[in-house]
Amino acid sequence: MTERDVILNELAQGLRPMSQGMAWFDALDPEGRSAALLFLRHHCVQARAVVEDGAESIRRAGLRPTHTPAVLITRGRIDDQLGKIASLTPRDERRKAFQLLVAVLAIADGRRRERTCASGCGHWWHRLTTAD
């Protein structure tokens, strides 16, 4: 467990406001932002995100359907699209990608919690209770 993983999971679970998440993301150097997006992508895949999560993720992230990450999430295999979103390079697109991937993680992990972890699990991130 790293500080980054705790922050990302707190954001996805609504335990930390997105404004703090955006400030944290913006404070990272370019390599740190890339790493955060790649880890978010990995967490989304591990939480078993599905194509149907796209529309709700766009809504939760507050993106317009025409924003590049929003267009990508609705096109094709989810694993491939998450990788493309995490690889966007313009600064503005990376910020949108971060918001969208947090929303995807929130939806996919929320579903996992309801379906497979409701009666208990060993996932440390399902025991988070407050943001620092």
**Whole-number pLDDT of residue 125:** 60
C-beta of residue 8 within 8 angstroms of C-beta of residue 39: yes
Which tens digits make up the pLDDT trace of 21-61?
Answer: 999 999 999 999 999 999 999 999 999 999 999 999 999 99
Residue boundaries of the structural domains of the chain: 3-127
Residue whose structure tokens are 């379906």: 115
CA distance 92 to 108: 25
pTM: 0.88
C-beta of residue 130 within 8 angstroms of C-beta of residue 14: no
The SS3 of residue 53 is helix
**Whole-number pLDDT of residue 132:** 46
